[in-house]
């Protein structure tokens, strides 16, 4: 494992801020230099949450730059492309062709998929922790209608199961693209081959899966990013507990923000209640939430860190919170990991300690589970997740993810959300 000289909190905070400065391109921050040269959706929400501890204006600019990519349908795209690096990441703007779509923004190029709807939760965190209250209040008023539109899109176009949950239509939409949760659904798709240069691909995907990712994206694009096509024909539709747990938490956040924006909080609280009831009814089994494959109408058996997403809900019943805590602390997850929280159950045959969402621990999911623990007053877990996450970045740097047994870094270096959330944890 890499040895890093011991750093105190102040020095760690300075290092984190300098990573964010280095990854800045105009008003946006890229996830990692080289590897991800554009603005990614949920990355920027975590980045804004961390920045808000020191610079309200910059946190707001990060979110507004992302929301400039919002489509008139309300959809917030998973990538807002940086024009100077257009095709430096595959698939780039020439694949997504957002400029051909009447609902896409004219000024910026984007992807056609979305990512976990962290946005309202992020605006609420910025509001709660802002150093400049006036700037934060202006940000809330400006973004509130955008967030309402985003939630409307999820509740309408994305309720593919008709039960009140939002479906993801591509693994990239989960934010956990190579999670073993999607393996069976992907393997049910036709075997396809594309002729892009293999070296353009991120190392993380078995080739056959990446070809299917591209195939799914092209099918959706060729439908004109059409909601009816998604309902009737698109072959990948999954109700994911992390995506929906984050959406629910964002509904609660919108209810908190509504009075600041001069609006009624009740519709957001009611929406949260509907999502909660649907998640408990449709996704709960064996002490954890599971993803549901809508085409096979069955729960996906593997346990992943995504199954803890609904714990972000302050209204989740104490009995379910207790059961989730038991699973989290068991040898399937934290009980057998030196450095929590592994992204996939350690006992699963698919678990791989070094491959992205198939095993390693991530700063953003640790932050989410720590936030969930705080919501439910589980102070020991809050302390444990905060301390162990800071131990990871102190030992191995602001890496993309970490080996859950020895804490060594994996994936990209100088990863923005690892740096930004460190600032939040240090605050
Ligand atoms: C596809 C940028 C993104 C993160 C995702 C992570 C990875 C992209 C990829 O990088 O996904 O969107 O190329 O694999 O899985 O969570 O937002 O950091």
Q: How far, rounded to the nearest angstrom, does the alpha carbon of residue 62 sit from its chain's CA centroid?
A: 16
Return the DSSP state at 166.
P
Domains of the chain with bracketed CATH:
9-426 (1.50.10.10)
- Assembly ipTM: 0.99
Q: Which of 290, 260, 52 is nearest to 184 (CA)?
A: 290
380 is catalytic: no
What's the whole-number mean pLDDT along residues 184-193?
91
**Which atom, in ligand 1's list, is nearest to the CA of 89?**
13
Residue 202 has pLDDT above 80, yes or no: no
Instruction: Round to whole Å and give the CA distance between 314 and 8.
Output: 34
Q: Quote the pLDDT of residue 199.
A: 57
- pLDDT of the residue at 186: 96
Cβ of 175 below 6 Å from ligand 1: yes
Question: Residues 325-381: pLDDT tens digits?
Answer: 999 999 999 999 999 999 999 999 999 999 999 999 999 999 999 999 999 999 999
- Reported confidence tier of residue 67, pLDDT bands at 50, 70, 90: very high
Element (H, E) at 79: strand 79-80
Is residue 31 within 6 Å of ligand 1 at its C-beta?
yes
Q: How would you label 13-52 residue by residue, b for 16+ Cβ within 10 Å and e otherwise?
A: bebbbebbeebbeebbbbbbbebbbbbbbbbbbbbbbbbb
pLDDT, tens digit (0-9, with 9 covering 90-100), for 372-401: 999 999 999 999 999 999 999 999 999 999
How many residues are present in the chain? 427
Burial class (CB in 10 A: 0-12, 13-18, 19+), 341: buried
DSSP state of 36: B
pLDDT of residue 196: 63
202 lines ligand 1 (CB under 6 A): yes
Give per-residue pLDDT as tens, 250-302: 999 999 999 999 999 999 999 999 999 999 999 999 999 999 999 999 999 99
Structural Rg of the chain based on CA atoms = 20
* For range 400-417, the mean pLDDT: 98
Catalytic annotation present for 177: yes
Dist. CA 172 → ligand 1 center (Å): 7
| Alpha-carbon gap, residue 266 to 46, rounded angstroms | 26
Atom of ligand 1 nearest to the CA of 400: 18
Residue among 69, 91, 177, 182 whose CB has most ligand 1 atoms within 8 A, to mutate: 177
Place of tokens 């056959």: 208
Is the per-residue pLDDT at 201 higher than 70?
Answer: no
Q: Name the β-bridge partners of 392.
A: none
pTM: 0.97
Residues 6+ positions from 127 with CB-CB distance below 8 Å: 136, 137, 139, 140, 256, 257, 260
């Amino acid at each position: 494992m890499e040895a890093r000289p011991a750093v105190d909190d102040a020095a760690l905070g300075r290092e984190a801020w300098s990573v964010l400065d280095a990854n800045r391109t105009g008003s946006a921050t890229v996830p990692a230099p080289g590897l991800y040269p554009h603005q990614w959706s949920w990355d920027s929400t975590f980045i804004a949450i961390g920045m808000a501890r020191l610079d309200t204006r910059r946190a707001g600019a990060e979110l507004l730059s992302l929301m400039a990519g919002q489509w008139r349908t309300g959809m917030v795209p998973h990538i807002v492309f940086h024009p100077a690096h257009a095709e430096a990441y595959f698939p780039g703007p020439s694949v997504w062709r957002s400029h051909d779509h009447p609902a896409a923004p004219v000024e910026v190029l984007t992807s056609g998929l979305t990512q976990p709807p962290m946005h309202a939760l992020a605006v609420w965190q910025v509001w709660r922790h802002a150093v400049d209250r006036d700037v934060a209040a202006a940000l809330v008023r400006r973004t509130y209608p955008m967030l309402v539109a985003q939630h409307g899109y999820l509740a309408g176009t994305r309720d593919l199961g008709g039960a009140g949950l939002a479906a993801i239509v591509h693994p990239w939409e989960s934010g956990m693209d190579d999670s073993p949760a999607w393996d069976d659904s992907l393997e049910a798709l036709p075997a396809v081959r594309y002729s892009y240069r293999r070296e353009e691909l991120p190392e993380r995907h078995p080739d056959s899966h990446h070809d299917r990712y591209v195939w799914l994206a092209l099918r959706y694009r060729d439908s004109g990013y059409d909601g009816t096509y998604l309902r009737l024909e698109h072959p990948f539709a999954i109700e994911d507990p992390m995506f929906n747990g984050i959406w629910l938490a964002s509904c609660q956040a919108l209810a908190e923000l509504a009075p600041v924006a001069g609006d009624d909080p009740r519709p957001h609280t009611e929406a949260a209640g509907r999502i909660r009831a649907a998640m408990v009814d449709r996704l709960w089994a064996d002490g954890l939430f599971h993803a549901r494959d809508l085409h096979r109408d069955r729960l996906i058996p593997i346990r992943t860190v995504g199954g803890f997403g609904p714990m972000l809900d302050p209204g989740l019943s104490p009995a379910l919170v207790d059961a989730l805590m038991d699973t989290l602390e068991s040898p399937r997850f934290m009980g057998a990991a030196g450095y929590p929280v592994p992204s996939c159950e350690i006992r699963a045959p698919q678990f791989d300690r070094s491959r992205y969402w198939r095993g390693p621990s991530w700063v953003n999911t640790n932050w989410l589970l720590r936030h969930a623990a705080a919501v439910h007053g589980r102070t020991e877990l809050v302390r444990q997740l905060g301390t162990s996450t800071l131990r990871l970045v102190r030992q191995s740097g602001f890496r993309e993810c970490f080996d859950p047994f020895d804490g060594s870094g994996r994936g990209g270096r100088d990863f923005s959300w690892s740096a930004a959330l460190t600032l939040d944890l240090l605050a």
